[in-house]
Structure 1
Amino acid sequence: MNVFQMRDKLKDRLKHLDVKFSFNRDEETLRVSRNDNGKGVTVKISTIVAKYKEQKENIVDEIVYYVEEAIEQMKGEALSEAENIEIMPVLRSPSFDKKDKEGNSFVIDKHTAETNIYYAVDLGKSYRLIDEQMLEKLNLTKQQVKE
């Protein structure tokens, strides 16, 4: 299987999503972006082709699963009911990013010299780190998140 065949296979398996596909021939990547907000993921096709030789359809299934989950989490629906969400602490190294890709600061507490505590919303199969903007949407304070 070559890069172009894999690109077509992934596009076919993901066609049920409301997304736009962009293929970069030079970098051999496929960008899958939501139509509603433009957020998305980029998949390196050549890596998948290399793994396909050993894992066959299993690697395709795995990539499709992760892309579907990522696209679903990026839909940007506001988390509005604070009573129905579960917040959990997540330990990260002090070198971990302090802001998300949009520049919003995460809610962070110092823990030890080796770790910081970030806070995350449990989304079932994944989680999302809480940032300042999300606090406003949830109408919560940092202290309420910690409790």
Structure 2
Amino acid sequence: MKALELIRVLKTKLSEEIYTYDFNRETNKLRLTHKEIGKGIDISIPPILAKYETKKDQAIEEVVYTIHHTFQAMEKEMAGEIDPASSVYPVIRSTSFPLKSNEGNKFITKDHTAETRIYYALDLGSTYRLLDEKMLAAWNIRETEIRERALFQVRNLETNYKKDVVADNTYYFFNNNDGYDASRMLNESLLRDMKKIIVGDMTVSVPHQDVMIIGDIRNETGYDVLAQMTMHFFTVGTVPITSLSFIYENGHLEPIFIMAKNRVTKENEDK
């Protein structure tokens, strides 16, 4: 399937009577604007086409679902049905992620690690919207208050996990599909509790937004498996963050490079 074919299919499912379509061939992005709401979203075409190769029509249905619920959430926000006091969460993004919205408004962010940055999102049910300075000004809320509320919310998220053991190394997978799995790395009490059951080196990985992997690494094989695992998740994730993992020691996260047949090289030692 080609880009124009995909757009034609989308038009059969998302009527041109409701949406306007503006495709930029240079950036391979589709700007979809809801005529009644007057707002739009940008959709990157290549990732959808890549998913179509393996998932076929399901890939398109997922996109349509996301678009529909995003605009539905915008309507709720405009109607004042969203309470920012109880609907703000932190989200983890790569440091290469844009610092401004498409409209040019600066996002609310906080430095985190050399590989990650914290953004803040207004939860809208089936999706969320990143907070920017214009939104906070409209609410008359300070950034410090938003950060405090977000950290409180992330501590209330469920901490269920599944685990897998490979060559005496244990991997704990947090995959609740609520949009905030990677955000759980900001839950200090969770990390401290996990540290208590870790026998070897404790690693934390957030290859994309919908998974956090905590590793109990006891040998070289454990690091090799972790490297392969994080790269796979990073490649297939909808919102990739980083293929690097972090060592968790004394309450701090430090990015590491994992070398084949070698244990670990801390990132800042190579600089």
What TM-score do the two structures reach when normalised by structure 1?
Answer: 0.69
CA–CA separation in structure 1 for the residues paired with 2:141 and 2:115: 28
Partner of 2:64: 64
CA–CA separation in structure 1 for the residues paired with 2:112 and 2:127: 23
CA contact (8 A) 1:33 1:40 kept: yes
Counterpart secondary structure, 1:88: strand
Could you say if the C-alpha distance between residues 137 and 59 of structure 1 is closer, same or farther in structure 2, counting changes exceeding 3 Å?
same
Cα displacement string for residues 26-47 of structure 1 (whole angstroms, at most 9, x for unaligned residues): 99976532113152344649x6
How far off its partner does 1:132 sit? 0.6
Partner of 2:116: 115
Give yes or no for the alignment of 1:94 onto 2:92.
no
| Unmatched 5+ stretches in structure 2 | 149-271
What TM-score do the two structures reach when normalised by structure 2?
Answer: 0.42
How far off its partner does 1:145 sit? 0.7
CA–CA separation in structure 2 for the residues paired with 1:88 and 1:113: 21
Equivalent position amino acid for 2:65 in 1: Y
Q: How many residues align?
A: 144
CA–CA separation in structure 2 for the residues paired with 1:29 and 1:116: 25
Could you say if the C-alpha distance between residues 26 and 107 of structure 1 is closer, same or farther in structure 2, counting changes exceeding 3 Å?
closer
CA contact (8 A) 1:41 1:70 kept: no
Identity %: 35
> Which structure 1 residue ranges, 4+ long, deviate > 6 Å from structure 2?
1-5, 23-29
Partner of 1:131: 132
CA–CA separation in structure 2 for the residues paired with 1:81 and 1:127: 13
CA–CA separation in structure 1 for the residues paired with 2:134 and 2:72: 20
Q: Answer 1 or 2: higher relative contact order, Cα 8 Å, separation at least 6.
A: 1
How far off its partner does 1:15 sit? 2.5
